[in-house]
Structure 1
Amino acid sequence: MLDQKKKKKKKKRLQLPLRLNILFIFVFGLFSLLVIQLGVVQIINGEEAQQKINQTENTPSEKPVPRGKIYDRNLDVVLDNEAVKSITYTPPKNGDSAANRLKLAEKLAEFVMIIKDEEELKDEINERDKKEYWYLKNTKDALDKLTEEDRKELTTGEQYQTVLDRITEQELTTISWNVELLNVLAIKKELDQAFELSPHVIVNEGITDEEYAQVSEHLLELSGIDAVIDWERKKMFGTTFNSYIGGISDSEEGIPRENSDYYLANGYTWNDRVGKSGLEKQYENILRGRKEKIQFTTDTKGNVIGSEVVVEGQRGKDLILTLDMQLQQAVDEIVEEELKKAMNSVNNNGYLQDALVAMMDPQTGDVLALSAVRYDREDKTYSDNSYRVIYDAHEPGSTVKGATVLTGYETGAIDIGTRFSDKAIQIANDPPKKSYRFLGYSLSEVDALEMSSNVYMFRTALKISGATYIEGENLRNFNNDAFGIMRKHFSEFGLGVETGIDLPFEATGVRGGDPVAGNLLDLAIGQYDTYTTLQLAQYVSTIANDGYRVKPHLVKEIREPGNEENKLGPVLKQNTPEVLNRVSMDDRYIDRVQLGFERVFTGGTARSNWSGFEYDVAGKTGTAEKPKFDESGNQIAKTENLSLIGYSPVENPEVAFAIIVPENGTGDQYAVHHEIGKRIISKYYELKKNRIED
């Protein structure tokens, strides 16, 4: 019995080591596999694994792309791009120290001189730049200039400024400020201006092919530096239409600071170049393109170990203008030539200096030409001031009489065939208000337009106001609301309101602020409120277009960028005619004003100037008195704003125009507005004929 118990215990002791051995063998196997795996990682994939451990991804670097091109209606290139070599710097995510930027500048200076002219380079570097350099090179000595009291009481920025103030002229003389060192400082100044994560152009003018190649070859040694191709705008027609093409900011300006939130939210960086005026600004989102984004992978030492294009770049979309650049150039020349003739006329009194022209298709709103020339009396030169067509407003005189007649129809003040005497209006205690001469005792509204009767318009305005007029007495029941009524109806034709042209800004003119009866009469003949030349062009276009006011526009199409050089891409959007409003009146009323406008040129105030002209034209002439006063309010001269509006041909019009020549001499003056009008219409048909023949 005892032996059996001993045998059982011995058997258990034998089984226990066996289980332990099996467990040991299993654990040993697991460790062996782990050691093998570690060996594989360390020996075979060790370098790759270490790189993965050390690597860090930078924010993608962005490369600029060309902006979209601009073409005229005949597909001639108006605005192109020109490649420019550039060196840029993108600060790291958490910024960099001044000391590191100095080291980077010293390294970059080995390959590029950013200011080639030595004198210009010397002017660029001021005393503060030199003191900051001395500070970085002598940091310990610089900080010793601070007292304990300074360290306790001054902020970090104040301490820095105090140190700079205490650096002496003698200490600065210990450094040799040669050209090479000045170049380093000039580079550092550019590096200091860069915004975090935003590429900043260090130099893009005057960089040589050799310098560009040198920098490109050493990019791995120049953290944050890149050698890229930037793009400058190239205007193919010189200064022609420059005001409306507009411009873009340079890299130093970057995005507008006042609207930075908008731009940053839309993917821009601080140093991005954006449209700041004209079409460049209006169509910024179309022209900007999509920048190429490259993801660089670097190790902990900043060495680039890989890169990947994460967003393909695409140049901006193209604009096709409504403008005919041949016509635009010709109109510019015509305006300048005729202005010179007027300036030399015997009756020019020394105030004339501008002539402004707008041409558009009355049915589509296509702008065909916008031109203004200004004479600089000091320099005795003529310059393109075409922006004045939409920015400057003037009293246009009798050209608004068509709007006055139509307002009379709309308000019930007159009807077709209503007749008034042209006898002067005489209100008590006021000088008589009359036409340029007595035109008859019974004028219809068509007669009044043909012969440009002021009195007919005065009587129409008085009817609109509800006033009772008795010669020599004060007006009775005059309603000041008549100003608002007339302006409301004038606005239906585009007078006194925005035309809607696709530009960042346009003026709407100035409204007179004294609502007395005499001023209402002046409003009716265009000698109170002011309007721009483009407003007048839209107004006459509305009459030519049977009462439909069409929005003028400069861009006809938006196209995808072409795949080949100078090859247009497919149409993305086409700007079709946009009717802003239809003048609410019977077609018979528009017909009557059109008849009056036609008779102006065949037998009325424009007949003597346009007699024998080979193309039929309808429209209206205008003259607004513009007296000149000195600082004391004394009248020193008499001048007149000359204006002319029209359209051609009379049936189914295809071109409308407005011309203003402000402050011309009075009397038997040179008819500059008529000469401009005849020549621009002739040029329009000449170019049209040439294109048909081609």
Structure 2
Amino acid sequence: MNLLKPKINWEADYSSKILVLLVFFVVFVFGVRLWFLQILKGEYFAKKSLDNRTRIVKVYAPRGLILDREKKLLAFNEPAYDLAIIREDCKDKDCKEELDSISILLKKDLTELKEKFFTGKKRVKVFEPLILSTNLSFPELAKIESRLYKWPALKIVVRPRRKYNYAYALSHVLGYVSLASEEDLSNDLNLDPGDYIGKSGIEKSYEDILRGKKGKKKLEIDAVGRVFKESLIELPQPGKDLFLSIDLELQNYIYHLLEGKAGAVVVLEPETGQILALVSSPGYDLNRFVFGVKEKEWKSWLKHPFHPLQNKVIQGTYPPGSVFKLVMAGFFLNRLSLDPLESVFCSGDYKLGLRVFRCWRKEGHGWVNLKRALVESCDVYFYKQGEGLDIDELKSFVVASGFSRLTLIDLPYEKAGFFPSKEWKRKRFREGWQKGENLNISIGQGYVLVTPLQVAKFVAGIVNNGITYKPSLLLKEKKMFPETLPFSQKSLEFIRRAMIETVENDRGTARSLKERGIVIGAKTGTAQVVKLKEEDLEKEVEEIPYKYRDHAWMASFGVINQKKYVVVCLMEHGGHGASGSGPIVKKIYTYLKQKNDR
């Protein structure tokens, strides 16, 4: 045996070779992987790495301004601070800890916060701000700012917030913006949770013009979520400004005239269709909607007997009363070829079968022709001439005169009013049209309903030689969509003269409007709400319960220094037209004259 010959351990030698091969294999695999990541896919992963530390966020566009015809600011924007959360920076996927902390710190209902969070998750990407609370107060803002280092997922978002000047006086013209609802978000893919959109008035009608378009900016974020660099990649496009035809001074003046009352006034230029004032009283504070109206406040508005949320100029539908006699006069002259000199004797009442229809003047007017019937507003004359009319023929004339259809003003939720027909009566009551209903219709009672704006547009046509225009609230719009009243020029001149005499004649029902230096024509109207009991007929207006009092109308036109105006006033439960609406209309003409004389 050779003791010096080394003993070979074949098992250990084999294991060493396997280990060496394994090491070489691992190095090879890592090398291939490194080549794959650094060379073959290097550009792709470099971009992905950059994406992980950058975010693209939206930049809010300021909403367009709204100004009056003299460029006075009516609606503008101011900075507001909202609280948002970025989900990918939360400590868990449902951001439970952050939501709990916000609820405690800001004293917000946790259920509401969670509802906003889970609703917003469906529409907002994980790296985008999801708005949880809007319009933070400065104390709330300070609380959040001082604790942001604890919650990297929370962000303060600065955005433009709507602000309204003269919010009450212009409430039914401007309308308001409010948070977009789920339905709004579903209908418009450009909206995000927390966005504000127009909900009524001009704000709603011109939402697409006023809103503008959001921009984009790139944020570079460090490991704890802090922004260390930002750059604008797409400029936001501000909304376009709107100049209204409204005269702010006149609007404010009229609103204060109506303070504490329920009513509507519209002032327009008959030669252009532009509206100078559109006032519905009472108004409400538009700015409350920007901050969010509390349920208690909302209910108080809904229950208010004067209905402040209703735009009475375009949504209030009322019996026109004797104002409708202007339409009836046109119908008699143009469709029935009535001789305006033909006289009817008014004894104070008119009998039809077993029924007695009374004139407002108990002792009667004596013998009256058409002009005197308009000037003194004799009911019996219109009973007599209207008794045999065909209601469907009258409806055709009424619709052609602009009633029972929309005026197409640039405001949402306008109502068309109503005028009956034989077919409607059969469907509604399962009976035919009666002659007594002709008598009621002839003096603007019964089933006829109109809006103050419809009356104003109609009177504008009388003044403007039969041409009417769409009532417009935009300064750049004039003489839009012209239409022609179904009146001959001769009949228009006749009615204009009768309206002027109603003011200038000592027996005219609108004689209280007479003003030196102004040519005014008018028609009063007292629209019955309910049939009063016999014992209530002799009572003063103030002695009758408010809800049973008549509505007071005054429809008028005026010429001041060759400039024409139409002024229509409707006072809900205001009593008689001359006493309920007359003083307001007179003050408006006095104001317009003073303004023209400056």
Instruction: Look up the match of 1:294.
Output: 217
Please show how residues 218-257 of structure 1 align to structure 2 within 5 Å: 221-222=152-153, 226-250=155-179, 254-255=180-181, 257=183
Instruction: Look up the match of 2:130.
Output: 200
**Larger deviation: 422-431 or 315-324?**
422-431
CA distance in 2, matches of 1:53, 1:428: 92
Amino acid at match of 1:371: V
Instruction: Look up the match of 2:568.
Output: 658
Q: Does 1:526 align with 2:456?
A: no
Please show how residues 127-526 of structure 1 align to structure 2 within 5 Å: 191-198=117-124, 199-203=129-133, 204-207=135-138, 221-222=152-153, 226-250=155-179, 254-255=180-181, 257=183, 260-264=185-189, 267-294=190-217, 309-336=232-259, 339=261, 354-373=262-281, 387-415=311-339, 417-422=341-346, 425-434=350-359, 436=361, 437-441=363-367, 443=369, 445-463=370-388, 465=389, 482-511=390-419, 514=425, 515-526=433-444
Q: Aligned pair in 2 of structure 1 residues 98, 416: CA closer, same or farther (>3 Å)?
A: farther
Instruction: Look up the match of 2:520.
Output: 617
How far did residue 319 of structure 1 move? Answer: 1.0
Q: Aligned pair in 2 of structure 1 residues 210, 439: CA closer, same or farther (>3 Å)?
A: closer
Q: Aligned pair in 2 of structure 1 residues 580, 422: CA closer, same or farther (>3 Å)?
A: farther
Residues 396 and 526 of structure 1 are in contact (CA less than 8 Å); yes or no, is this contact kept in structure 2? Answer: yes
Query: What is the number of residues matched between the two proteins?
Result: 518
Secondary structure of the structure 1 residue equivalent to 2:355: coil
Q: Aligned pair in 2 of structure 1 residues 49, 270: CA closer, same or farther (>3 Å)?
A: closer
CA distance in 1, matches of 2:103, 2:172: 32
Residues 269 and 275 of structure 2 are in contact (CA less than 8 Å); yes or no, is this contact kept in structure 1? Answer: yes
How far did residue 684 of structure 1 move? Answer: 2.0
Residues 397 and 486 of structure 2 are in contact (CA less than 8 Å); yes or no, is this contact kept in structure 1? Answer: no
Report Cα offsets for 1:424-458 as digits up to 9, x if no partner. Answer: 54322222454624333351x22221122223323
Residues 105 and 187 of structure 1 are in contact (CA less than 8 Å); yes or no, is this contact kept in structure 2? Answer: no
CA distance in 2, matches of 1:584, 1:651: 29
Q: Which runs of 5+ in 1 are unaligned?
A: 1-34, 130-185, 340-353, 466-481, 557-573, 631-635
CA distance in 2, matches of 1:98, 1:539: 66
Give the structure with higher Rg (CA): 1
Amino acid at match of 1:622: G
Residues 218 and 231 of structure 2 are in contact (CA less than 8 Å); yes or no, is this contact kept in structure 1? Answer: yes
Q: Does 1:646 align with 2:531?
A: no
CA distance in 1, matches of 2:145, 2:222: 25
1:545 counterpart (464, 468, 488): 464
Q: Aligned pair in 2 of structure 1 residues 520, 685: CA closer, same or farther (>3 Å)?
A: same
Q: Aligned pair in 2 of structure 1 residues 333, 627: CA closer, same or farther (>3 Å)?
A: same
How far did residue 612 of structure 1 move? Answer: 5.1
Q: Does 1:101 align with 2:20?
A: no
CA distance in 2, matches of 1:284, 1:613: 45
Report Cα offsets for 1:371-391 as digits up to 9, x if no partner. Answer: 233599999998966722221
Secondary structure of the structure 1 residue equivalent to 2:188: helix
Q: Aligned pair in 2 of structure 1 residues 97, 601: CA closer, same or farther (>3 Å)?
A: same
How far did residue 52 of structure 1 move? Answer: 2.8
Q: Aligned pair in 2 of structure 1 residues 429, 382: CA closer, same or farther (>3 Å)?
A: closer
Residues 274 and 477 of structure 2 are in contact (CA less than 8 Å); yes or no, is this contact kept in structure 1? Answer: no
Report Cα offsets for 1:182-233 as digits up to 9, x if no partner. Answer: xxxx9766543423343532233125565676688899x53xx543311221
1:586 counterpart (488, 493, 499): 488
Q: Does 1:555 align with 2:555?
A: no
Residues 396 and 527 of structure 1 are in contact (CA less than 8 Å); yes or no, is this contact kept in structure 2? Answer: yes
Instruction: Look up the match of 1:162.
Output: none
CA distance in 1, matches of 2:123, 2:221: 16
Q: Aligned pair in 2 of structure 1 residues 608, 378: CA closer, same or farther (>3 Å)?
A: same
Instruction: Look up the match of 2:584.
Output: 676
How far did residue 331 of structure 1 move? Answer: 0.6
TM-score of the two chains, using structure 2 as the length reference = 0.75
How far did residue 623 of structure 1 move? Answer: 1.6
Amino acid at match of 1:294: K
Report Cα offsets for 1:330-354 as digits up to 9, x if no partner. Answer: 11111237x5xxxxxxxxxxxxxx3
Q: Aligned pair in 2 of structure 1 residues 516, 413: CA closer, same or farther (>3 Å)?
A: farther
How far did residue 593 of structure 1 move? Answer: 0.7
Secondary structure of the structure 1 residue equivalent to 2:380: helix
Secondary structure of the structure 1 residue equivalent to 2:94: helix
TM-score of the two chains, using structure 1 as the length reference = 0.65
Q: Aligned pair in 2 of structure 1 residues 622, 53: CA closer, same or farther (>3 Å)?
A: closer
How far did residue 67 of structure 1 move? Answer: 0.8
Secondary structure of the structure 2 residue equivalent to 1:293: strand
Q: Aligned pair in 2 of structure 1 residues 625, 307: CA closer, same or farther (>3 Å)?
A: closer
Q: Aligned pair in 2 of structure 1 residues 87, 389: CA closer, same or farther (>3 Å)?
A: same
CA distance in 2, matches of 1:610, 1:46: 87
Residues 510 and 522 of structure 2 are in contact (CA less than 8 Å); yes or no, is this contact kept in structure 1? Answer: no
Q: Aligned pair in 2 of structure 1 residues 432, 674: CA closer, same or farther (>3 Å)?
A: closer
Residues 177 and 203 of structure 2 are in contact (CA less than 8 Å); yes or no, is this contact kept in structure 1? Answer: yes
How far did residue 650 of structure 1 move? Answer: 7.8
